[in-house]
Amino acid sequence: MRRFCTSGPVDKKTCYYVDRPDIMQEALDHIENWRYFTVSAPRQSGKTTLLNDIVEKIKDKYLPIFISFESYGKKSLKSFLKTIIRDIEDDIEYRYNQKIELKTLEELDEIREAILEIYKKTNKEIVFMIDEFERLDESIMNEFLHIIRSIYHKKQIYKLRSVILISVGYLSGILEDNASPFNIAEHLEVPYFTKEQVYDLLSQHETETGQIFDEKVKELIWHNAAGQPGLTNGLAYDL
């Protein structure tokens, strides 16, 4: 029997799950069209769950690499280069059970060579997804964005089909001077649940368990959590 998920990304096999077809299709369209774009959402909004879904939908055709800069903030350049390569290797092994070894980077600009090396080893165009992007040290971030911008203009050569920068807040101020590929019009926000989606979540529990939520209780869950996925699941779980 599934349950209401109260922590971490949702596992569809063990937790109730709400589809978000509109934002999913928009993200997939961007990837198909070689777009580099940003995604923002508050914590516990279902952002990571959505992104993991995107990975699952494209991983047979492309090579999604999904890493997080959450712990990168205070790293030196040398430590950053070592960590990003290790995280890329680990993510590929986790998703594909394929162990690859990449060359150690000495300079940030060598990320270009690393991308080409990944393509040669996997023979798949790359979709690079970076969560908690705003945690990166500003000096490293600026140079990193300039490199991505230069790659963008030759993306078919590098086989870097899409880059997705993900953050808790809006990245427009950070990207304004450094990242022309990340057009403000191609920014996705992961919204809270609508009332219909909250009721869908609750109805999954009713169908699978036979335990019925009173209509007034459903209204109160919607009113008190305001569609925030984490709070909605938490209230429903406790009730």
For residue 172, the model assigns a pLDDT of: 60
Say if residues 135 and 99 touch (Cβ distance below 8 Å). Answer: no
For residue 44, the model assigns a pLDDT of: 78
For the chain, residues with pLDDT lower than 70 are 170-180, 183-185
CA distances from 221 to 66, 80, 161, 207 (A): 33, 43, 41, 18
Retrieve residue 98's tokens.
């394929």
Segments making up each domain of the chain, as ranges = 21-189, 195-238
CATH of 21-189, one of 3.40.50.300, 3.40.50.1000, 3.40.50.1220, 1.10.3720.10: 3.40.50.300
Amino acid at 196: E
